[in-house]
Amino acid sequence: MIRKRKESEHMSSLFRKKDINDLVKHASPLKRTLKTWDLTFLGIGAIIGTGIFVLTGKGALTAGPALALSFFMAAICCGFAGLCYAEFASMAPVAGSAYTYSYIAFGEIIAFIIGWDLILEYALGAATVSVGWSGYFVNLLSNMGIRIPTLLTAAIGTTPGVNTIFNLPAFLIILVITWIISIGITQTKRVNDTMVLVKLAVIVLFIICTIWFIKPQNWHPFSPFGWYSYHNGTASGIIPAASIVFFSFIGFDAVSSSAEETINPSKTLPRGILLSLLISTILYIIMTLTMTGVVKYTIFIKYLNAPILAVLAKTGQTWLSIIVSVGAILGMTTVILVQLYGQSRISYSMSRDGLFPKFFGQVDQKHQTPFKGTWFFGIITALASGFINLNILSELVNIGTLTAFILVSAGVLLMRRTHPEIHRGFRAPGVPITPIIAIIFCITLIAGLNWETWLRFVVWLAIGMAIYFGYGRRHATIKDKKGE
């Protein structure tokens, strides 16, 4: 009898939950300075970058001109999930994003799993984008007559037949952005806002200059591979392409990580999340239709790393290539910045809860940022981008993010039922339909990923569980309060 009771207590302690009221009333040592448009720009900074400047080529080859529908499908998935994030953000305006929301709704072990997934999403995502950034940067320097030794332009084995050992540009950009984030949220905000404005201007200029060259016959057949089919031994169609371009939208959830640095977060966070998704989706669809209208989608096989250059070559507007390269570099810089920012705030929240060592949660008095933790993960991410071939790992980012989306959506369903009395500055419309649709879309996109991705994800979770049971569970601050 005693043994059964101890086993029951052991299991219940794994699912101990945080109280929203306790979370909200604790003063944050972080500096509050972000407003609605800062958050919107933070979201746009995370979303618009790799999707437009890199993934449109691979996506078009997978879905044809129907890639616009793939972007729309991925956007709907993120939109429904975004509504759920917005409700949680208004209900619990504290740092931690999906990690904190899961701690409130499902309990400690689920929260740790999601926090561990978010580290995967942000750190590996930033490292992956930095590699694309490096490609554009090296190309821009080459056009200016400056050459970086080939050995220092990529990790070992990245490009078949090319001898490389280290990606120096990717390594350095991660360190520079880590420094910006570590010295303060005001500096981070100013750098991000400036770069977002410039890259939006470049995208609008590109559309204005190329839209006149659209030939409607290039859109026929609009969906050559249907919704889902096998073509040349690989999955093709609108759904597989949506699974690919979903990577483009990853990062908008980092907006909710900024809750403790936001002025009036219960109102501004939902606005920032939804506005950034709306603006980015409109631009993605216009860009996709423009690019597949100017050139036949099959042409992108020759321009996989820089698909926009295919359009410029077709229209003869080579003068735009340098401007577009600058826009691409700035676009991917903001993506890296927002992902590293989100990473630093997730590890800060987990440390504050005792699930990570105190080192990661120490706030520097001068800069009012988690300075040490920011630099720790910044250096790890920089080394990964420099030495590791990330091509085989990038889909891990998608599966980690989709898992977080599913739990946040399920959390809204649960909290509506168990805590209807809690004040919500924003209520997701159409509950329970909205979160259920978000979950269905996420599961559909997960189904588009290959089995190797699942295997790597399981290995990552196993490492996380070792850390949780070896350290986090015994040091969690919540147990002191519960008297366990």
- Residue 204 DSSP class: H
Report d(CA 328, CA 137) in Å as an integer.
Answer: 9
DSSP string covering 85-128, please? HHHHHHHS-STTTHHHHHHHHT-HHHHHHHHHHHHIIIIIHHHH
CA distance 152 to 171: 10
The low-confidence residues of the chain, meaning pLDDT below 70, are: 1-13, 20-32, 50, 93-97, 157-161, 185, 187, 231-233, 251, 254, 257-260, 266, 304-305, 364, 367, 390-395, 479-484
Helix (H, G, I), strand (E, B) or coil at 230: strand
What crossing angle do the helices spanning 265-294 and 238-249 adopt, rounded to 10°?
130
The number of beta carbons lying within 10 Å of the beta carbon of residue 234 is: 11
Backbone angles phi, psi at 167, to 5 degrees: -95, 90
Bridge partner list, 99? none
SS3 154: strand
Q: Do 119 and 346 touch, CB atoms closer than 8 A?
A: yes
Kindly report the pTM of this predicted structure. Answer: 0.79
Residues with Cβ within 8 Å of 301's Cβ and at least 6 positions away in sequence, in order, are 57, 61
**Token pair for 295:** 């050139």
The Cα–Cα gap between 34 and 482 comes to 34
**Cα–Cα distance between 163 and 159 in angstroms, integer?**
8
Q: Which domains does the chain have, with CATH numbers?
A: 39-477 (1.20.1740.10)
Write phi, then psi, for 272 (nearest 5 degrees).
-65, -45
pLDDT at residue 7, as a whole number: 46
CB 382 within 8 A of CB 133: no
Per-residue model confidence (pLDDT) at position 310: 80
And the tokens for 390? 């990330």
Closest Cα to residue 330, out of 191, 181, 205, 204? 191
47, 79, 122, 366, 404 from 369: Cα distances, Å: 24, 30, 18, 8, 25
Place of tokens 């086993």: 7
28: DSSP letter: P
CB contact at 8 A, 17 and 106: yes
Provide the pLDDT for residue 175: 94
What pairs with residue 234 in β-bridges? 231
CB 47 within 8 A of CB 293: no
